Amino acid sequence: MPHKVDHHAILDRIAAERGGQRNVLRELDPRRTAQLVIDMQNGFMESGAPVEVPMAREVVEQINRISAALRTAGGLNLFIRYTTPAEGDPPWSSFAERLGPAADGHKAAFLRGAHHWQLWPGLEVTDADSLIEKKRFSAFVPGSSDLYEVLQNRGIDTVIVTGTMTNCCCESTARDAMQMNYRTIFVPDATAATTEHEHAATLHTMGRIFADLLSSDELIGMLERARAPA
């Protein structure tokens, strides 16, 4: 099962700090909403994978449920996968320095087309969904991906962040989304970190400043109530 962190308790603490306000969003327009499914790839999912996040295997069901609800409601699912920068891309030597001896293995694992680069087979991806490659933790960093252009072209103003890792690529992308003026939702039971502590710390930061915290059930309920007409 997903992380056992109680996001309602986090929202209670946040509300006490800001005059009773918990979450901000009261309704969604599904046609202007996109789910950003972050890094649900073999290299993060498989047992013994280079960047294994065991809990990521436990959130696949929630992500699939959100994806199905958003498709039905007329929204967009974007499956975003980390891809090793190629020759000619902006350099990211600082990342390699911080990884140390693991850098070469990480680079090889996430080369385009490699096994660990592929999406986890348990994800339900349809022809209605889109695939995006990113080359930084945040999909919004200049040169990382074409996410911003895709969202702008579709008239998206609200993003839902799911995937892994909670406290790295999910958090980085959500922070940038809010700062680029997207209404942002972070789903506690559809994101995964390596520890409960790291997951909880990110949820508090997200809820306090950057994003609404909605469980998969809460989010699906909002989508069903706001389902776009055929």
> For residue 50, is pLDDT > 70?
yes
Residue 177: which domain range?
7-225
Q: Is residue 230 domain-resident? A: no
**Total structural domains within the chain:** 1
What share of the chain has pLDDT > 90, as a percent?
Answer: 86
Q: What is the pLDDT of residue 228?
A: 47
Average pLDDT in the 115-125 region?
98
Name residue 77's beta-bridge partners. 35
Average pLDDT in the 137-157 region?
96
Other beta carbons within 10 angstroms of residue 25's beta carbon come to: 13
Q: What is the pLDDT of residue 229?
A: 55
Q: What is the pLDDT of residue 151?
A: 98
Contact 106, 94 (CB under 8 A): no
Q: Is residue 85 domain-resident? A: yes
Give the span between the Cα atoms of 165 and 149, in whole angstroms: 24
Q: What is the pLDDT of residue 18?
A: 82
Q: Is residue 1 domain-resident? A: no
Q: Is residue 188 domain-resident? A: yes
Which residues contact residue 223 at a Cβ distance below 8 angstroms, ignoring those fewer than 6 apart?
A: 28, 30, 33, 69, 70, 72, 73, 75
The pTM score is 0.96
Q: Is residue 2 domain-resident? A: no
Q: What is the pLDDT of residue 81?
A: 98
What DSSP state is assigned to residue 33?
E
Which residues contact residue 214 at a Cβ distance below 8 angstroms, ignoring those fewer than 6 apart?
A: 23, 185, 186, 187, 222
User: Which CATH number covers residue 86?
Assistant: 3.40.50.850
**H/E element, 103:** helix 103-109
Q: What is the pLDDT of residue 65?
A: 98
Q: Is residue 47 domain-resident? A: yes
Q: What is the pLDDT of residues 182-225, one digit of tens each?
A: 999 999 999 999 999 999 999 999 999 999 999 999 999 999 99
> For residue 60, is pLDDT > 80?
yes
